[in-house]
Chain A
């Protein structure tokens, strides 16, 4: 090597080393700048209003947004979650229980031991005992106290007797000492631990909540006593000396803002960092009626996160600007959107017609109405894939090219129908003309309805569309005999497929009002008479046997059991045209140094966020 060449090589090496040092230094500086640290205020814009279903009282609160606040920040349950995205976020972990119990007595008894050192926030300031969990369960069972999902706990012995006032206690719940609680069930219930992870089961101090029963039940939400790392600002100043002295905590104005501050009685030693890091010192949730304003403030760093829906303009901006892309968070929402068909109403009382509908609908076009692929994956069956551990991820019984619908396949299915009298693959009976379809008036409904009308017309079905602002009450009343609706969507309550099948397809859940088994799967003439449903009420297929069987199965075979129910429903009953497995979208600010998604509540994992 000549001396000149050596100099050049040395110079290049020196430059490379210098560059390397510079890059390393700048990376270190950058990571130092964005390092996750405790402190600061995490500010969230909340569109329109809090919209809580029971005024933030955990006994009756059924809104996912509220569950995210409870589970991540305010309330601890016997068992819970690590508040992370994906399948790991659906795994049960101990929270105030020292471990996740194994069921005994043939799957009918669950014994929980409480950790020591768990205390209620001020102004209660005392240790949590098993009796506080029992009190929460009694509050949930008492219909006067506004519980919105007591049906999950009717498997506990003596629950119904207590709920109806025939017993003074729930015989199936025992508290042999302050740190033990035992649940005895009437039958093996494979998802019981999931049920005990729901916020209504978190311990409630009787000395405060006794003031909020009956007509005043849900006013407890204004003075919620925490067991988690945060509490409502000002709750420590509330006088709980007597019921009449209790005033709402200053940090919660149900109309405009909720501020959470650190709970001084929370001990990180009783929790795990994997479940709750609890980085910010404060959380501020502020109602803002202007969604554009929320996103502008997030962009400007005046807010850090949002509980809203990004408009197509906002989405485009974050998807097409490379520097912003990492601030748009897309996560599987464990929710299926679908078209429901009523098995009692012509022409959908014929399975061939329902199959033809599954073939003809252009699911890609429907998804476009939701904003395209960003909105989620095309749904090909009932339960979102993550809940079934992806067993059915390739299952698509009505597969069409590019999910855009197939006239040929639809007509082939229709040919088997009694409503196709001339066998040309088109419905030519009067029952297929002017079929009532209930739609809503959201932007997505307006985009989807023309697609459904055009597609169905190809197989001879025409619709008379009635658009209602808030269509659910109409389709939830079976005596309205709604043949078809494009409105429904269903999300999990917890990561078990029973929260889909039991609620949506069990004949037990067919009720006169608030009915969610829209298709009336399992309807019998007796039930039809009771609820006022008319039409073809005999010979309706049922999935009760399969659902009841899977409810008792535990362990890994439970998931495959539910997968078989999904397949059965999609091929033997065909109550829906599922079209979208929705994704949840969040936009965060540049101030956020750590963010995660809570798969349990399908919201931001506030337990794992951090700001600069």
Chain B
């Protein structure tokens, strides 16, 4: 197992390096003009453009800049280790920018994940057990709504109706825990629910389908024939087997949301890591963009590894040499 994890970690580093290399290449090779002009005034002189290029390290070919980035990453820079540099736009170090935003993103993901996992799996189980009942139809109707409704629309509607009209929740923006638990939860409750709705719908449908398929297996019939209670059959034998793909999905969803909850973060003005990614892309702020991509890529790769390791515990048939 240890060798397996070490091998996977080595691959993870390679994958992240490849992602960053592609990011650099895309950033510099896309026809967007000279980035230095973005930070110059009207009609800049060649000297002014050269100064900006020098200041932003843009006076090297893109692959050399990538090399410099790798070097600074490992050796550190003026802001410490790992050296991620500073923003082209506001001079704030990338580490500071990410660390000041990561907490709000992680809280958003954690709260939403709990809601969607509990509600999604519960709805899926009920639907599977009470197949074709009114309950099943209502649950699947909810799932269809959750999958179909765009997050930006749900977000805006919930803000308008629940917060603006009914005064439920703390409205937009983020309030750190240090300013009070009530204010913190009040500002997050609507984003949690909106973000969770989409995923809960997916999880409900997936749990239902997996469980239905598992409950049709021969060993389930055997379990029932042995006289085991329905609760034991469903939860011990049925659910455990049907959880494997849920675990995969859950791990990757969480990882993707580290840099991908862009719409939710924008609509609710949470200004987390996803929002930072969009801002840096729009501002052609390569160092910040690279920092966020690195974070997201690392999260995906590491969660992938965690999921694979968890398989071994969930499914006894899986063994890693």
Contact = CB atoms under 8 A, between A and B. Distances in A.
B41 A55 contact: no
Interface stretch (A33-41, A118-126, A345-353, A512-520): A512-520
A254 interface: yes
Nearest to B32: A473
B41 A255 contact: no
Interface stretch (A103-111, A227-235, A284-292, A378-386): A284-292
Contacts of B48: 143, 147, 150
A480 to B, nearest CB: 9
B248 interface: no
B39 A54 contact: yes
A146 B275 CA distance: 28
A470 to B, nearest CB: 7
A143 B38 CA distance: 16
Contacts of B40: 148, 514
Contact of A503 (B34, B42, B171, B173): B42
Q: Categorize the interface residue count of chain B.
A: 35 or more
Contact of A513 (B47, B49, B51): B49
A514 B34 contact: yes
B304 interface: no
B38 A473 contact: yes
A477 B33 contact: yes
B32 A49 contact: no
Nearest to A469: B282
Contacts of B46: 511-512
A489 to B, nearest CB: 13
Contact of A215 (B31, B49, B55, B268): B55
A302 to B, nearest CB: 8
Given A255-B90, A513-B49, A62 B34 contact: no
A513 B37 contact: yes
A55 B164 CA distance: 34
Contacts, number: 127
Interface string A158-177: 00000110000000000000
Contact of B172 (A293, A509, A511, A516): A293
A393 to B, nearest CB: 27
Nearest to A514: B37
A596 interface: no
Nearest to B96: A255
A420 B90 CA distance: 53
B310 to A, nearest CB: 35
B72 to A, nearest CB: 15
A412 B265 CA distance: 55
Nearest to A473: B33
A214 B52 CA distance: 10
A509 B43 contact: yes
Contacts of A51: 89, 283
A289 B264 CA distance: 11
Contacts of B42: 62, 148-149, 151, 503, 514, 516
Contacts of B45: 143, 151, 511
B100 A255 contact: yes
Interface string A275-316: 000000000000111101100110010000000000000000
A267 interface: no
Contact of B43 (A164, A289, A511): A511
Contact of B89 (A55, A214, A503, A515): A55
B158 interface: no
B268 A476 contact: no
A218 B44 CA distance: 17
B286 to A, nearest CB: 15
Interface centre among A49, A52, A55, A297 (most CB of B within 10 A): A49
B97 interface: yes
A143 B47 contact: yes
Contacts of B100: 255
A272 interface: no
Contacts of B81: none
A565 B98 CA distance: 51
Contacts of A514: 34, 37, 40, 42-44, 49
13 contacts: A55-B91, A151-B45, A219-B91, A289-B271, A292-B159, A293-B171, A300-B164, A472-B33, A511-B43, A512-B46, A513-B33, A513-B37, A514-B37
Interface of A: 48-55, 60, 62, 143-144, 146-151, 163-164, 214-219, 222, 254-256, 287-290, 292-293, 296-297, 300, 468, 470, 472-474, 476-477, 503, 509, 511-516
For the complex of A and B, list the 6 residue pairs with the smallest distance between their C-beta atoms, beginning with the closest: A473-B33, A148-B41, A254-B90, A514-B37, A289-B266, A509-B43
